[in-house]
């Protein structure tokens, strides 16, 4: 089994590359919201098509698991709302991300990265995730450094 830290590092690179590619593409589009929304929707169509292909593969490979997941299995604790709400939020935040990247450039992605701390906070509140003073102090330092880097980038690039 691949260690979760390695998977997280791979994900970090993929997110960074994806943000770069989106930012590069935004320079080619007119600076009009509707074009940005068309772009995001086009990305989501590709995501959806790939996800459908994966689900079709999984259906043929593990039909009982797919039927149990989507069927009326009483052991299944996941409801449609559990993936519908994050899906709706994802469309909204991707649209906002594209707008921020197109206006603020790559520095916007450093601010997006602070969303990790929202995830940690929500895990502490709702999932009994444990953190200590050193983690809280480090989060404060990272937020301060990000604010400083963002401020300097805005000044240097006249954003």
Local structure of residue 31 (DSSP, 8 states): S
Q: Give the pLDDT confidence score for residue 73 in this predicted structure.
A: 65
Q: Tell whether pTM > 0.85.
A: no
pLDDT in tens, 97-142: 888 877 777 788 888 888 888 989 999 999 998 999 999 999 999 9
DSSP 80-140: HHHHHHHHHHHHHHHHHHHHHHHHHTTHHHHHHTTHHHHHHHHHHHHH-----HHHHHHHH
Phi, psi for residue 29 in degrees, rounded to 5:
-90, 150
For residue 45, name the pLDDT band (cuts at 50, 70, 90).
very high
CB burial readout 92-101, b (16+ within 10 A) else e? eebbebbbbb
Q: What is the DSSP string of 34-47?
A: HHHHHHHHHHHHHH
């Amino acid at each position: 089994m691949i260690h979760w830290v390695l998977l997280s590092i791979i994900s970090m690179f993929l997110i960074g590359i994806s943000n770069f590619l989106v930012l590069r593409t935004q320079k080619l589009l007119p600076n009009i919201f509707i074009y940005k929304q068309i772009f995001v929707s086009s990305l989501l169509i590709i995501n959806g098509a790939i996800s459908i292909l994966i689900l079709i593969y999984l259906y043929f490979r593990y039909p009982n698991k797919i039927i149990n997941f989507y069927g009326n299995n009483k052991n299944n604790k996941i409801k449609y709302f559990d993936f519908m709400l994050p899906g709706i939020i994802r469309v909204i935040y991707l649209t906002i991300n594209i707008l921020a990247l197109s206006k603020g450039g790559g520095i916007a992605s450093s601010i997006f990265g602070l969303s990790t701390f929202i995830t940690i906070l929500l895990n502490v509140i709702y999932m009994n995730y444990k953190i200590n003073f050193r983690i809280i102090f480090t989060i404060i330092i990272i937020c301060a450094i990000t604010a400083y880097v963002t401020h300097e980038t805005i000044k240097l690039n006249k954003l």
